[in-house]
Structure 1
Amino acid sequence: MMGKEILRHELIGSHIRIVDAKNKSLIGLYGKIIDETKNMITIENKDIVKKLIKDQVVISIKHKGHLYEINGKLLVNRPEDRIKRIRRLS
C-alpha cells in the first residue's frame, strides 16, 4: 500500500533520478520535475531541461523520507486522472 501512496501525489517539484531507461544515456540523470503531461515528464537540473517519455524510464523519487522506484508506465496518464484512478483502486 505504501508504494501506491506516491502515485497519488503531485510529482511537480519532486527530485528524481533515472535508474533505468530505454535510452541508456539517460541513466543517472537527475533533476527536479517542472512539468508533467500525459506521456512526458520535464525535469530541470541547473540550466539543463530534459523531456522524458514516461513509459521508457524507471525513476527513483524521494517522498517523506522514503526512496521509491517507479516504472514510468505506471505514470502514463494525465496527472489529475492518475490521482483519481489510484484512489478508486485503493
Structure 2
Amino acid sequence: MITPQNIMRHELVGLEVEVTHSLHGDLQGIKGKVVNETKNTLTIDDGEGNEKIIPKGSATFHFTLPEGITIEIDGKIIISRPEDRIKKRFRKYW
C-alpha cells in the first residue's frame, strides 16, 4: 500500500500526477497518469492520447495516491532508476 511516508520506495507508474512547477514554463500544469519512468524522466499520458516526457530534475510534482491523498515531491529527490530507489535512504521531506 502506498502512503505518503513510503511513496519514494514504490512504483510511480499508474499514479495521477500534476507538474506544479518547472524551470521549463511550458511543462507547468501538465496533468495525467504516469505511464513510464526512467532515471531522469517521467512520461505522462494526459488522457487525450498525448504523452509528455518531463525531466525530473527541473520540476515539482503533485502525486495523487489511490486513496485520494495528494503529495508534493521535488523531482530532484526522485532522480534515480526506479529499481534503485528501493535501496536509497531518504530524509523526511514532509
Q: Give the TM-score, by structure 2 length.
A: 0.84
Percent identity, aligned pairs only? 34
- Structure 1: where are the runs of 5+ without partners? none
Aligned residue identity for 2:81: R
The aligned residue for residue 81 of structure 1 is 84
**Which structure has more helix as a fraction of its residues?**
1
- Structure 2: where are the runs of 5+ without partners? none
Q: Residue 44 in 1 paired to residue 45 in 2?
A: yes
Aligned residue identity for 2:56: K
Q: Residue 69 in 1 paired to residue 72 in 2?
A: yes
Aligned residue identity for 1:82: R
CA offset digits 1:30-75 (Å, max 9, x no partner): 0111100101111111211110111011000111331100000011
Aligned residue identity for 1:68: I
RMSD: 1.9
The aligned residue for residue 53 of structure 1 is 55
Greater mean deviation of Cα atoms: 3-12 or 55-64: 3-12
Q: Give the TM-score, by structure 1 length.
A: 0.87
**Which structure has more strand as a fraction of its residues?**
1
Q: Secondary structure at the match of 1:10?
A: coil
Number of aligned residue pairs: 88
